[in-house]
Structure 1
Amino acid sequence: MLLIYDGPIDVPELLARWYGAEHKSNFGAMVNFVGTVREEGGIEALSFDIYRPVLQSWFDAWQKRLEERGALLAMAHSQGDVPVHTSSFACAIFSPKRRVALEMLDAFVEDFKANAPIWKYDVVNGERLYAKSRSTPMRGSGLLAQNTPGGAR
């Protein structure tokens, strides 16, 4: 269950959709996370580019990891502009036991921030500016790599 939205996510509709799809599947827990764009540094929105083939592969690996624990993963992310006070990211983990869902949610969100192929921009005065200071290098990509005496790391 990987969904890509153009613009902000309709969170009430999305959570109801996920709950409706799985509430009879005998999972004991649905744990979710919703990321909301904060008003800070003069931004009026965040804007996102997504490399879908790599995102799908990354998501599929997480889905398999969760299936091994008897759990199911759902995720939604925005592409394009997402105004402040609206949501760009949501995920839910369904699990027979709450502990698995809670533990895996934390691991998933941290890995998402570090490795999902999604690039973030600030929108300030209608201009899209790469948010390098709040971005994380993607493992193996060279994007944001810093030069070190021994070469790129």
Structure 2
Amino acid sequence: MGESEARRDVFKLSRDWLSVQEVVDAVSSASCGAVSVFIGTTREDEADGRKVIGLEYEAYELMAQSEFSKLCADIRERWPTVTHICVHHRLGWVEVGQASVAMAISSPHRHDGQQAIQHCISQLKANVPIWKKEVYDTQDSSWKENAECSWAARNVRQPDISTTEDI
């Protein structure tokens, strides 16, 4: 990376359709030979005989920006060659087949960028306060937690109650 090129971290929450090209353009650099991209789309899923027709996203926007900044610092500590990071995430209604998240990371070589993009999506889902509600063809809906969240039911350490002794 040249001395004149500053590292860029771009985070955008939007109710509009996501442009993958805009995300790629945000990280493109003459000093980088690799742009790693992840696009997460809303998938048609079935739960209890109901078909998912879309997702409704909400976020705590100020905290989301703060958590994204922490995530970028973490990525740069783990992969110092990462040059630019860009994440765009939808809010509001996202129908099946549309992108919910588009992210790109540039680096001089592909290896660091590919590892960093995997880490980025995992940690985004775990730590950035963005919530999704599944909406079904029955017009029912339910809020879903990401499996990566530290507060997810399956990740919360339960107290050991295997003993019958009084404390």
Counterpart check, 1:87 vs 2:99: yes
Which sections of structure 2, spanning at least 5 residues, go unmatched?
A: 1-9, 162-167
| CA-to-aligned-CA distance 1:116-144 (integer Å, 9 cap, x gap) | 21111111233432125xx33744xx675
Q: TM-score, normalised by structure 2?
A: 0.73
What is the root-mean-square deviation in Å for CA atoms of aligned residues?
2.5
- Higher gyration radius (CA): 2
Q: Does structure 1 residue 76 correspond to structure 2 residue 88?
A: yes
| 1:63 counterpart (68, 72, 78) | 72
Number of positions where the alignment pairs a residue of Structure 1 with one of Structure 2: 143
Identity, % of aligned positions:
24
Q: 1:84 to 1:75 in 2, by over 3 A?
A: same
Q: Residue 44 of structure 2 aligns with which residue? A: 39
For residues 103 and 148 of structure 1, the distance between their equivalents in structure 2, rounded to whole angstroms, comes to 32
Instruction: Tell me the SS of whatever aligns to 1:44.
Output: strand
Closer/same/farther in 2, CA of residues 22 and 37 from structure 1, 3 Å limit: closer
Distance change in 2, residues 1:23/1:128 (3 Å): same
32-41 vs 122-131, which moves further: 122-131
Deviation at 1:76, TM superposition (A): 0.8
Which among 31, 35, 58 is matched to residue 30 of structure 1? Answer: 35
Contact kept? 1:4, 1:78, Cα under 8 Å: yes
TM-score, reference length from structure 1: 0.79
- Kindly indicate whether the alpha-carbon contact (under 8 Å) linking 1:73 and 1:93 is maintained by their aligned counterparts in 2: yes
d(CA) in 1 for partners of 2:124 and 2:71? 10
Q: Secondary structure at the match of 1:64?
A: helix
